[in-house]
Amino acid sequence: MSSIVAIVGRPNVGKSTFFNRLIKRREAIVDSVSGVTRDRHYGKTDWNGKEFSVIDTGGYVVGSEDIFEEEIRKQVQLAIDESDIIVFVVDVEDGITPMDKEVAQLLRQVDKPIFIAVNKVDNAMRVGDAVEFYNLGLGDYHTISSINGSGTGDLLDAIAEAVPAQNEEEVETEELPRFAVVGRPNAGKSSFINALIGEDRNIVTNIAGTTRDSIDTKYNRFGFEFNLVDTAGIRKKSKVKEDLEFYSVMRAVRAIEHCDVAIVVVDATRGFESQDQNIFWLAEKNKKGVVVLINKWDLVEKETNTMRDFEAKIKKQIAPFTDVPVVFISALTKQRIFKAIETAVEVFENRKKRISTSKLNDTMLDIIKQNPPPATKGKYIKIKFCTQLPTRTPQFAFFANLPQYVKDPYKRFVENKLREHFDFTGVPITIYFRPK
């Protein structure tokens, strides 16, 4: 499970620019991911072989001037509670401000790696000005310019060093599938879980959270056995207003990174809002299985095609990854809640599906022969062989003479054909074109 790095600091010090630089930098190393721009405040990045999630708290601060400071304090407190590593961004032009002192005061009580990033240091004179940030009492600092990128490499080296090495072996020992129930506040996550578990408390064992704030409920009914990770109101914090968007995202990040299938609960009366989309993209980027549950369906006025139109609208919002099951439920009346679980189990099975190389080649090479990639600069692309990679999630390599000329639309075409013939519903798949 990757570490969470939170970027904190007062407004206008360049947190988002720094965040964007980290995420873009990652896109240069790793395959670029569609949907990255849709949720500007969360991204995955890797550096020196370490993978971690980055959260830009600045994107979540809302409010008029007078409640601004209170909001920022809350955010910093949350970031401290929920993240593993903290980057505190300050501005060399302004020097130390009273707000910086307050943030530093909070951070000094924390036993986690904290990095001070003195931003806007874009010439030698300003390097000298940065010395005053020693007075924050948080030790050494890094001078960066998030606009032109100077210094960010060194800072990333230091962050990567603080990220613990991931042990693949540990992940493999999980035998029961883990389903995380995620969604924005008041979508009905708790009601859904209560409806599932019902009165049959005897079949449930609560395992103290493997992550710091999730309670796993072992579920065993109707021939299904799995762990349910409940992110709903697990740990009501007095100092946190439950409606904070940032808080629900933080929790979703934790739960999603640690699950096999994310069950995204959406409030039918509110529709599929941007916060729901963020949580959906979070699961997609982490290569998790996804099931979308439209809860409170009993409260929606129905006409002949209401369900079909609602689903079509969602699919439009989550394109290009539209091969996702959408189940309409009511946690209150228990309508279709077992269908929801059946679907999640199917998605889990799809995610660990292996296709034999001979079967894959027989099916796909035939399709590719009939619809070859368009020629580029007068050069014809020939794809000779394909195989599924031995990874935990479905990834495929296609070997071609000129892989660099294969464009995104063709990759999507190949992905759609794979889905059509082998059923990967609910599962993100990755396709690589490699030199043969």
The verdict on whether residue 122 carries a ligand-binding annotation is: yes
The verdict on whether residue 296 carries a ligand-binding annotation is: yes
The verdict on whether residue 152 carries a ligand-binding annotation is: no
Q: Where do the H-state alpha helices sit in 187-229?
A: 189-197
| Owner of token pair 């059509």 | 420
The verdict on whether residue 186 carries a ligand-binding annotation is: yes
The verdict on whether residue 356 carries a ligand-binding annotation is: no
Strand, helix or coil at 355? Answer: coil
Question: Ramachandran region of residue 188, left (φ > 0), alpha (ψ -120 to 50) or beta?
Answer: left
The torsion angle over the Cα atoms of residues 268, 269, 273 and 276, rounded to 10 degrees, is -40
Strand, helix or coil at 245? Answer: helix
Beta pairing, strands 42-47 & 430-435: unpaired
In order of 47, 120, 167, 232, 264, the CA distances from 185 in angstroms are 33, 37, 33, 8, 12
Beta-carbon count within 10 A of 407 CB: 14
The verdict on whether residue 183 carries a ligand-binding annotation is: yes
The verdict on whether residue 283 carries a ligand-binding annotation is: no
The verdict on whether residue 56 carries a ligand-binding annotation is: yes
Q: Which of 286, 274, 287 is nearest to 44 (CA)?
A: 286
Are the beta carbons of 89 and 15 closer than 8 angstroms?
yes
The verdict on whether residue 233 carries a ligand-binding annotation is: yes
The verdict on whether residue 16 carries a ligand-binding annotation is: yes
The verdict on whether residue 58 carries a ligand-binding annotation is: yes
Extract the tokens encoding 420.
Answer: 């059509």
CA gap 363, 358 in Å, rounded? 9
86: which strand partners?
Answer: 6, 114
Strand, helix or coil at 77? Answer: helix
The verdict on whether residue 298 carries a ligand-binding annotation is: yes
The verdict on whether residue 153 carries a ligand-binding annotation is: no
396: which strand partners?
Answer: 388, 431
The verdict on whether residue 216 carries a ligand-binding annotation is: no
The verdict on whether residue 297 carries a ligand-binding annotation is: yes
The verdict on whether residue 95 carries a ligand-binding annotation is: no
In order of 109, 151, 185, 299, the CA distances from 310 in angstroms are 48, 48, 21, 14
Are the beta carbons of 236 and 265 closer than 8 angstroms?
no
The verdict on whether residue 60 carries a ligand-binding annotation is: yes
The verdict on whether residue 185 carries a ligand-binding annotation is: yes
The verdict on whether residue 154 carries a ligand-binding annotation is: no
Q: Which of 265, 262, 164, 180 is nearest to 214 (CA)?
A: 180
The verdict on whether residue 189 carries a ligand-binding annotation is: yes
Extract the tokens encoding 157.
Answer: 């080296």
Numbers of helices and strands, H then E, in the chain: 13, 16
Angle of helix 306-318 versus helix 274-285 axis, rounded to 10? 60
The verdict on whether residue 184 carries a ligand-binding annotation is: yes
The verdict on whether residue 43 carries a ligand-binding annotation is: no
Strand, helix or coil at 310? Answer: helix
The verdict on whether residue 167 carries a ligand-binding annotation is: no
The verdict on whether residue 209 carries a ligand-binding annotation is: no
| Owner of token pair 């890094």 | 142
The verdict on whether residue 331 carries a ligand-binding annotation is: no
The verdict on whether residue 276 carries a ligand-binding annotation is: no
Give, as one character, the DSSP assignment of residue 380.
P
CA gap 46, 313 in Å, rounded? 34
Query: From the annotation, which residues make up the binding site for GTP?
Result: 9-16, 56-60, 119-122, 183-190, 230-234, 295-298
Query: From the annotation, which residues make up the binding site?
Result: 9-16, 56-60, 119-122, 183-190, 230-234, 295-298
